[in-house]
Amino acid sequence: LGSTQGQGIHIVITAGPTREPLDPVRYLSNHSSGKMGFALAEAAVASGARVTLIAGPVNLPTPAGVTRLDVESAVQMLDTAESLMDTCDIFIGCAAVADYRAESPAEHKIKKQDHQPELTLRLIKNPDIIATLAARPDSPVMVGFAAETRNVVAYAQDKLKRKGLDMIVANDVSAEQMQQGLGFGGDRNAATLIWRQGEDILTQDEPAQDKIQLASKVISQALKCLEL
């Protein structure tokens, strides 16, 4: 990836899980490591772009040259992303956003009820960050991720259309793939890049490779989408 292709371009990337509070000491979350999003940030800097990384709670060092904004919940992630939209040219949603959050997080620690074997938590849907941003009249080039266990490309194409995206990176997270160390938590990934070109939808298969290599290809294609 040339070091000037992204010059003058602002790329905003979300990475990692979100954390949805249940009370002051507990939360709902998931196992996203944030590695793919951080690799994208690194590759985006290498392209010469200005890069803002909106990170959920992860244990990763900030790549050199990246402006990192730490958030916890999906609502905070959306608010932070919206605040960057006036200068954003390419938005890449790599975060594993929690689909639901507690309707009303408890103000104080929820106490164990010795005589009640059940506890009911009422959850409400989180906003879909990438779909919300894609629906804006001033939306940048929008790149999403889709993790599927079957019909990977077909489901991802459907997601591309449904969320109003320009490009989607489809990952196979079936058990067979995970056994080979691909996908969540690992350092390697295989994927299919899917993007719109006029009325057409084009695809490019990327075999298993280091996440940083795959990230370069995603950034490169996203920059091409910006020119389309």
Rounded Cα–Cα distance for residues 160 and 166 (Å)? 7
Annotated binding residue 207: no
Residue among 27, 91, 145, 195 that touches ligand C5P (CB under 6 A) = 145
Does 156 engage in binding with ligand C5P (CB under 6 A)? no
Residue number, 95 or 223, with CB nearest to ligand C5P: 95
Among 130, 134, 191, 215, binds ligand C5P (CB under 6 A): 130
Query: Is 106 annotated as contributing to ligand binding?
Result: no
Q: Shortest gap between Cβ of 178 and ligand C5P (angstroms)?
A: 17
Residues near 141 by beta carbon (within 8 Å), at least 6 away in sequence = 89, 90, 91, 166, 167, 222, 225, 226
Whether 59 is catalytic: no
Residue 147, strand partner residues: 171
Among 132, 147, 150, 159, residue whose Cα is nearest residue 183: 147
The answer to whether 127 is annotated as binding is yes
Could you tell me the smallest distance in angstroms from the CB atom of residue 135 to ligand C5P? 12
What distance in Å separates the CA atoms of residue 38 and residue 49, rounded to the nearest whole number? 15
Question: According to the binding rule CB under 6 A, does residue 44 interact with ligand C5P?
Answer: no
Q: Does 74 participate in binding ligand C5P (rule CB under 6 A)?
A: yes
Give the C-alpha distances (Å, rounded to integers) separating 162 from 124, 148, 184: 21, 16, 24
Residue 37 binds ligand C5P (CB under 6 A): no
> Does the footprint of ligand C5P cover residue 95 (CB under 6 A)?
yes
99 known member of a binding site: yes
DSSP SS3 for 188 = strand
Question: Of residues 47, 52, 73, 126, which one binds ligand C5P by CB under 6 A?
Answer: 126
What is the distance of C-alpha 112 from the center of its chain? 35
Look up residue 75 and give its amino acid. Answer: V
Q: Judge residue 221's burial from the number of C-beta atoms within 10 Å of its C-beta, 0-12 exposed, 13-18 middle, 19 or more buried.
A: buried
Residues serving a catalytic function are: 30
Binding site for ligand C5P (CB under 6 A): 14, 74, 93-95, 97, 99, 126, 128-130, 144-146, 159
